[in-house]
């Protein structure tokens, strides 16, 4: 970023799909949830692609292979090739290959995506701590992952195996709501062993490195629904980001965000790729966006006006982030957020 901390969402005179050459799209909570396409996702991505934007799908979910993800996207109406998909399994496999000898045995706690990625890097997946693994890798294994897999990881780590994790997302969005993610499973092994894993996925540098190597993006825009993975990953990588409100982040969390979690742009869903972004401007002691004006009175965020609710949220972000500076905003925003009915 060009400033030490972002004090407001930025505007754009042109559609984001024109301003950036590549969209680095998260999947769960952005393109689909629970296997079903999120509203407006298919048509928005199609229009962005037809306009010349390269679409890459960057996911912390290590369960499925890039082939399987691309097939699923194509079935949903979003044509994709395996080379368009970058997973945390690929990122952690590269991280491991940089440290382990070719042919090293690795105990896998997770799904087929991890096994395929390890083999691509010359590493050998094994299933038991008794197979003498030199490392353990843990990734999301789906709702049916047996509890005994955590025990195998604990046994191997206690015998000296190096521990890696694809990612540490505590939750994952699904069709029925928010479910425990790989980070919750990592905590089980952490508690049992007292060890700390090396982590590859968003928001950490190994995932950004993997994404840049595989996409060749020159002007990337990270598109995500999570502040603590997608947006922080963009911040760490020094690239711009778009937060969409179709996943786990709500308005109150966004308003309270400290600098590393503040996106460049905010929009309701992926239609935001196809439009410019309105400017948030200073207005007296507050900030205006569209028909809304937001400011601070005492310890309360206030919002006046009417119009598009997302414009109101942008104005609130400007007021809150400016007030908070380099910290997190602790102002009471409940009444202001309730006015937006997001």
CA-CA distance, 41 to 128, in Å (whole number)?
41
Beta-bridge partner residues of 105: 124
Chain mean pLDDT for the chain: 95
Cα 143 to the center of its chain, rounded Å:
20
136-157 per-position pLDDT tens digit: 999 999 988 999 999 999 999 9
Whether residue 26 lies in the annotated active site: yes
The residues near 148 (Cβ < 8 Å, ≥ 6 apart) are: none
Decide which of 342 and 305 is more confident: 305
Give the separation between CA 208 and CA 100, rounded to whole angstroms. 21
Tell me: pLDDT of 235 over 60.
yes
| Set 26, 84, 225, 311: catalytic member | 26
pLDDT at 175: 73
pLDDT at 4 over 80: no
Q: Which of 21, 28, 132, 240 is labelled catalytic?
A: 28
pTM of the predicted protein model: 0.91
The answer to whether 30 touches 249, Cβ cutoff 8 Å, is no
Structure tokens at 26: 């998260």
Mean pLDDT in residue range 229-234: 95
Helix (H, G, I), strand (E, B) or coil at 90: helix
Alpha helices by DSSP H, the chain? 16-19, 41-50, 66-76, 88-97, 112-120, 148-158, 182-193, 205-215, 232-237, 251-255, 309-324, 334-340
| Residues 274-303: tens digit of each pLDDT | 999 999 999 999 999 999 999 999 999 999
- Token pair in block for residue 307: 């119009």
pLDDT of residue 2: 39
- Here the tokens at position 122 are 């010359």
pLDDT band at 1 (very low <50, low <70, confident <90, very high): very low
For residue 136, what pLDDT is reported?
A: 98
Q: Supply the pLDDT for residue 5.
A: 83
**pLDDT tier at 91 (50, 70, 90 boundaries)?**
very high
- pLDDT at residue 55 in the model: 97
Q: How many residues can be counted in the chain?
A: 342
Residue 178 scores a pLDDT above 90 = no
- 240 among known catalytic residues: no
Strand 32-33 to strand 36-37: parallel, antiparallel, or no bridges (unpaired)? antiparallel
The band of 34, judged by pLDDT with boundaries at 50, 70 and 90, is confident
């Amino acid at each position: 970023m060009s400033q030490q901390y972002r004090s407001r969402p930025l505007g754009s005179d042109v559609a984001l799909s024109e301003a950036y050459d590549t969209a680095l799209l998260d999947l769960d909570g952005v393109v689909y949830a629970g296997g079903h396409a999120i509203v407006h996702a298919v048509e928005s991505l199609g229009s962005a692609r037809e306009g010349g934007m390269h679409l890459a799908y960057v996911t912390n979910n290590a369960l499925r292979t890039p082939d399987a993800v691309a097939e699923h996207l194509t079935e949903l109406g979003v044509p994709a090739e395996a080379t368009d998909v970058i997973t945390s399994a690929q990122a952690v496999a590269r991280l491991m290959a940089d440290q382990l000898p070719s042919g090293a045995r690795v105990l896998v706690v997770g799904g087929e995506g991890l096994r395929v990625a390890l083999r691509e890097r010359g590493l050998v997946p094994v299933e038991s701590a008794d197979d003498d693994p030199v490392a353990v890798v843990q990734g999301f294994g789906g709702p049916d992952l047996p509890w005994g897999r955590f025990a195998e990881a604990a046994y191997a780590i206690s015998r000296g195996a190096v521990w890696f994790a694809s990612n540490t997302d505590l939750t994952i969005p699904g069709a029925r709501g928010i479910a425990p993610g790989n980070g919750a499973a990592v905590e089980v092994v952490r508690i049992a062993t007292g060890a700390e894993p090396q982590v590859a996925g968003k928001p950490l540098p190994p995932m950004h490195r993997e994404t840049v190597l595989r996409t060749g993006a020159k002007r990337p825009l990270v598109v995500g629904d999570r502040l603590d993975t997608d947006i922080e990953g963009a911040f760490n990588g020094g690239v711009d980001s778009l937060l969409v409100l179709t996943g786990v982040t709500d308005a109150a969390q966004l308003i309270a965000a400290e600098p590393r979690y503040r996106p460049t742009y905010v929009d309701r869903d992926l239609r935001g790729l196809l439009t410019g972004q309105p400017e948030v401007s200073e207005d007296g002691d507050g900030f205006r966006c569209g028909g809304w004006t937001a400011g601070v009175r005492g310890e309360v965020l206030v919002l006046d006006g009417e119009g598009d609710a997302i414009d109101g949220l942008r104005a609130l972000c400007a007021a809150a982030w400016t007030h908070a500076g380099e910290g997190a905003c602790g102002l009471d925003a409940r009444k202001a957020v309730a006015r937006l009915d997001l």
